[in-house]
């Protein structure tokens, strides 16, 4: 049912694009807009990852340049049964993350430097597991296509104001103005409808992948406080990409209403806490890896509660003892 609804919403967004073309040039404009929408969907299908990564000037990293980050991604991808995605870092102080790519085999996971500095290893694992859930369900492709179409509808609607006054315009000047306002708004609502439904599912599946819902809940709490204070200039200039991120990168209050890019963090955290209770987890559980698996958590999983749990760059405190605003092993 979620996939049917997503397909339906994508069809609605394509229809909006075609409708704006009809306003600009009647039947001929509608045909041209349909071909453009088809071409843009195909272009986004094959180039979505490069488009977004280039926009944010993401830098690809590997096990040598970012061993702990890449190790966490690899361990969680293995747990999820996914191919190892490419890993990227964006030089941006706002703590955030996103995934992109048309399929699991072509996926990329990207974190900002602010995220790596703010979160501890367990919280980072929760965030990465969330992003891998998007990869698993191919939300990365869906959200990039909708971001492309939503941005194009806005530009086409503005174009309609200048080109939609000719004799082929079936609605006249007043109708053109209405379309300029309604079409981008409707496209935004469709995009947000897709995004918000996928975020709840990614939280749930991400918690299953890492085995600890409270890790992601703790991360979301920190990200919510920090992202509202620290701007993301690229996202502000390209708001259609905002739903790609794990938390809203734009400087507006995210609440559960029609215009929110994400579900409210309070609701997401509450759902994760309820999930943790059902699973019988608490913040002291520390083993996200399969038994016997080697990985970035192996030393921590072997430590006793009274022993310091060490990473390559210092101790990793238990989830219950992480002070608000503390910096992780990358800080």
**Distant-in-sequence, close-in-space partners of 228: CB < 8 Å, separation ≥ 6:** 251, 253
Q: Tell me what percent of the residues of the chain surpass a pLDDT of 70.
A: 62
Strand order through the sheet with 97-100 = 59-61, 86-90, 108-112, 97-100
Alpha carbons 291 and 314: distance in angstroms, whole number: 24
Band of pLDDT at residue 12, cut at 50, 70 and 90: confident
Gyration radius from the chain CA atoms: 21
262 assigned to some structural domain: yes
Looking at residue 170, what is its pLDDT? 54
298 assigned to some structural domain: no
325 assigned to some structural domain: no
210 assigned to some structural domain: yes
Whether 193 shows a pLDDT value over 70: the answer reads no
185 assigned to some structural domain: yes
Q: Is the Cβ–Cβ distance between 110 and 97 less than 8 Å? A: yes
304 assigned to some structural domain: no
Whether 312 shows a pLDDT value over 90: the answer reads no
Instruction: Find the helix or strand (DSSP H, E) in which 162 lies.
Output: helix 139-163
Q: HSE on the CB side for 119, CA within 13 Å?
A: 33
Alpha carbons 300 and 254: distance in angstroms, whole number: 35
Alpha carbons 199 and 247: distance in angstroms, whole number: 9
Q: Residue for token digits 């990207």?
A: 110
Looking at residue 102, what is its pLDDT? 80
Query: Is residue 130 part of an annotated ligand binding site?
Result: yes
313 assigned to some structural domain: no
Query: Is residue 60 part of an annotated ligand binding site?
Result: no
Looking at residue 50, what is its pLDDT? 86
Looking at residue 223, what is its pLDDT? 95
Alpha carbons 12 and 28: distance in angstroms, whole number: 20
Residue 170: domain span: 2-279
**Distant-in-sequence, close-in-space partners of 3: CB < 8 Å, separation ≥ 6:** none
231 assigned to some structural domain: yes
The whole-number average pLDDT for the span 141-146 is 72
pTM: 0.70
Cβ atoms within 10 A of the Cβ of 326, count?
14
Which three-class secondary structure string do you get for 276-313? HHHHCCCCCCCCCCCCCCCCCCHHHHHCCCCCCCEECC
Most confidently modeled range among 79-83, 164-168, 170-174, 234-238:
79-83
In the structure encoding, which two tokens stand for residue 73, read together? 């991604």
The whole-number average pLDDT for the span 37-49 is 73
The whole-number average pLDDT for the span 243-253 is 81
Q: Tell me what percent of the residues of the chain surpass a pLDDT of 90.
A: 37
Whether 110 shows a pLDDT value over 70: the answer reads yes
Whether 112 shows a pLDDT value over 80: the answer reads yes
Mean pLDDT of the chain: 75
Query: Is residue 199 part of an annotated ligand binding site?
Result: yes
Sign of the Cα pseudo-torsion (301, 303, 307, 309, in order):
negative
Alpha carbons 312 and 297: distance in angstroms, whole number: 11
In the structure encoding, which two tokens stand for residue 278, read together? 């059902």
**Distant-in-sequence, close-in-space partners of 34: CB < 8 Å, separation ≥ 6:** 14, 17, 18, 21
Number of domains in the chain: 1
Catalytic residue list contains 123: no
Dump the DSSP string for 48-100: HHHHHHHHTT-EEE-TTTSHHHHHHHHHHHHHHT-PPPEEEEE--SS--EEEE
State the catalytic residue, choosing from 68, 75, 123, 131: 131
């Amino acid at each position: 049912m979620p996939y049917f609804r997503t397909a339906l919403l994508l069809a609605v967004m394509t229809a909006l694009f075609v409708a704006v073309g009809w306003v600009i040039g009647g039947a001929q404009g509608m045909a041209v807009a349909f071909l453009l929408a088809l071409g843009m969907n195909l272009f986004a299908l094959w180039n979505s990852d490069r488009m977004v990564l280039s926009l944010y000037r993401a830098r690809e990293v590997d096990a040598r340049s970012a061993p702990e980050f890449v190790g966490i991604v690899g361990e969680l991808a293995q747990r999820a049964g996914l191919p190892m995605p490419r890993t990227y870092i964006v030089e941006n102080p706002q703590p955030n993350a996103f995934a992109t790519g048309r399929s699991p085999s072509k996926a990329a996971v990207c974190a900002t430097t602010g995220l790596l500095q703010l979160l501890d290893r367990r919280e980072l694992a929760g965030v990465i597991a969330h992003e891998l859930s998007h990869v698993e369900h191919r939300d990365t492709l869906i959200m990039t296509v909708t971001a492309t179409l939503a941005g194009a509808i806005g530009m086409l609607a503005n174009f309609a104001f200048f080109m939609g006054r000719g004799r082929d315009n079936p609605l006249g000047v007043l109708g053109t103005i209405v379309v300029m306002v309604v079409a981008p708004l409707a496209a935004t609502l469709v995009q947000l409808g897709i995004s918000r439904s996928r975020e709840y599912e990614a939280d749930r599946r991400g918690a299953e992948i890492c085995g600890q819902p409270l890790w992601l809940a703790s991360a979301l709490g920190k990200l919510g406080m920090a992202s509202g204070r620290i701007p993301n200039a690229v996202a502000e200039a390209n708001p259609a990409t905002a739903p790609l991120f794990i938390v809203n990168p734009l400087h507006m209050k995210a609440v559960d209403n029609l215009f929110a890019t994400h579900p409210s963090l309070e609701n997401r955290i509450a759902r994760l806490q309820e999930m943790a209770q059902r699973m019988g987890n608490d913040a002291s559980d520390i083993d996200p890896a399969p038994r016997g698996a080697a990985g970035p958590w192996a030393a921590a999983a072997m430590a006793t509660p009274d022993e310091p749990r060490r990473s390559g760059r210092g101790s990793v405190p238990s989830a219950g003892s992480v002070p608000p605003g503390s910096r992780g092993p990358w800080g």
